[in-house]
Amino acid sequence: MRVLIVEDELFLAEAIRDGLRLEAIAADIAGDGDSALELLAVNTYDVVVLDRDIPGPNGDEIARRLAATPAGPRILMLTAADRLDDKAAGFESGADDYLTKPFALRELVMRLRALGRRPSAGTPPIVEVAGIRLDPFRREVYRDGRYVGLTRKQFAVLEVLMVADGGVVSAEDLLERAWDENADPFTNAVRITISTLRKRLGEPWAIETVAGVGYRMST
């Protein structure tokens, strides 16, 4: 899962980003509405964590634009505006969920995963490919009925590959979807993660390397 945090309080935004990364959720930060729209134009996000009171186009305006976009990301408004009228206005502008400050990071993570597993967001609740069963919400993987323990990053990479439904995913796309925009494009992290993931899943190898192109799930 990849998330965009739209928050003008930098320390809070960085704290949220760092906490989400520990949960294998890639996260980018935008400090104002214009920066958010620029990132949304070039990157694909599963969920946008959106503060309503930000410089530039405010949260409600961004929510309305995203809600009008076919197959756009889910929207979770994260704001100090906690009156019922505020929440109603947020939902009317296009929010899928609403969380008020102060909040617990654990609750934010649970809400993000719940939004990410909705079918209309493009990710089925449970993905099954070649005997591998991945549950994004419970963070569990089974192969032929055997539980497979994975690290957060291994899980994130496997989820991207399985959701691709047999399509080839390049190393660059994996960096974008399972890491974030600050990932070093010259790193060998993808190759290493794929190698360890194959070993965790066991033989026969479930992930194929397509020379010069990327990786895909074996059928």
Q: What is the CATH number of the domain that holds 102?
A: 3.40.50.2300
Residue 178 pLDDT: 81
Confidence of residue 183 (pLDDT cuts 50, 70, 90): low
Bridge partners, residue 50, by sequence? 6, 77
Whole domain around residue 36: which residue ranges?
A: 2-121
Q: Work out the percent of the chain whose per-residue pLDDT is above 90.
A: 40
The model's pLDDT over 67-115, given as tens digits with 9 standing for 90+, comes to: 877 677 899 998 887 788 888 888 888 888 999 888 999 999 999 988 8
Q: In this structure, how many other beta carbons lie within 10 angstroms of the beta carbon of residue 80?
A: 11
Q: What is the mean pLDDT of residues 139-157?
A: 89
CA distance 65 to 60: 9
Mean pLDDT across the chain: 86
Q: What is the pTM of this model?
A: 0.60
Residue 77 pLDDT: 92
CA distance 63 to 177: 22
| Structural domain count of the chain | 2
Beta-carbon contacts of residue 27 (< 8 Å; ≥ 6 apart): 2, 3, 4, 5, 16, 17, 20, 21, 180
Residue 121 pLDDT: 43
Q: Cα 169 from chain centroid?
A: 16
Residues 34 and 66 in one domain: yes
Q: What is the CATH number of the domain that holds 137?
A: 1.10.10.10
Q: What is the mean pLDDT of residues 155-171?
A: 89
Report the amino acid identity of residue 196.
Answer: T
Domain boundary among 121, 147, 162: 121
Lowest mean pLDDT among 85-94, 102-111, 134-143, 172-181: 172-181
What is the DSSP track for 134-169?
EETTTTEEEETTEE----HHHHHHHHHHHHTTT--B
Q: Cα-flanking dihedrals φ and ψ of residue 205, to 5°?
A: -55, 130
Residues 8 and 88 in one domain: yes
Confidence of residue 44 (pLDDT cuts 50, 70, 90): confident
Residue 142 pLDDT: 93
Residues 133 and 109 in one domain: no
Tokens found for residue 202:
């066991």
